[in-house]
Copies of this chain bind each other. A is one copy, B any other.
């Protein structure tokens, strides 16, 4: 209840709204999608004019560069601000999972709410308490406090050849129902699957999890990323 506690502790950060834009542009960049006004607006659930105006503001502030009418890139300042938000987000996810046994389909939404309110000091304490974790519960890499960061994705399960042994390294956190479903099938980060046949026409992909056969709809198998085990290629 101290006066201005919010401003004091969190000073120097972009506004929550701006942080959301930066984070979204970063995510689009990592996944190779075009960061156009429209895709950004859609991802954030705002109107196109709102996104247009905000992007202009971010460009004026030197956080975003308009490459052409349909592509926005983060400047190095913008990227580092985005990485700070992403780092906070993923540390919070790891923290909630570790301390509250919160399931992986819930942590994302909570982190979405908390990421703008966690101070640098709290972030540092969480990081230390967890022993400087490198990945969140979905296998997303946690950017370091300083220095650069590699967001590279593994191969999608989608693309693994039949018969391969596939180790799950990372699962998209965007769809919490999908995460719940995967958990129910016994598929999580670190699971090892044996890839079976894919049925034609967008049918399910069959995989073996332990000694059970499971069907993964086409939407699901695209969310699961990992690596084909050695000598299996």
A27 interface residue, CB < 8 Å from B? yes
Contact assessment for A100 and B117 in the assembled complex, using a CB-CB cutoff below 8 Å: no
Q: Min CB distance, A178 to chain B, in Å?
A: 13
Contact assessment for A113 and B5 in the assembled complex, using a CB-CB cutoff below 8 Å: yes
Within 8 Å by CB of A121, from B20, B110, B118, lies B110
A114 interface residue, CB < 8 Å from B? yes
Q: How many interface residues does chain A have, given as a range?
A: 35 or more
Contact assessment for A1 and B117 in the assembled complex, using a CB-CB cutoff below 8 Å: no
Residue ID in chain B nearest A173 by CB atoms: B1
Complex Cα distance, B95 from A96, in Å, reads 11
Complex Cα distance, B106 from A27, in Å, reads 33
Chain B residues with CB under 8 A of A24: 1
Contact assessment for A113 and B118 in the assembled complex, using a CB-CB cutoff below 8 Å: yes
Complex Cα distance, B114 from A9, in Å, reads 12
Chain B residues with CB under 8 A of A23: 1
A122 interface residue, CB < 8 Å from B? yes
* Most chain B Cβ neighbours within 10 Å, of A10, A45, A95, A109: A109
A200 interface residue, CB < 8 Å from B? no
Q: Min CB distance, A196 to chain B, in Å?
A: 32
> Could you mark each residue 90-114 of chain A with 1 if its beta carbon is under 8 Å from any beta carbon of chain B, else 0?
0000011001111000100110111
Within 8 Å by CB of A2, from B2, B27, B99, B112, lies B112
Within 8 Å by CB of A114, from B102, B118, B126, lies B118
Within 8 Å by CB of A1, from B3, B100, B102, B112, lies B112
Complex Cα distance, B116 from A10, in Å, reads 15
Q: Min CB distance, A127 to chain B, in Å?
A: 10
Within 8 Å by CB of A113, from B6, B43, B126, lies B6
Complex Cα distance, B2 from A5, in Å, reads 28
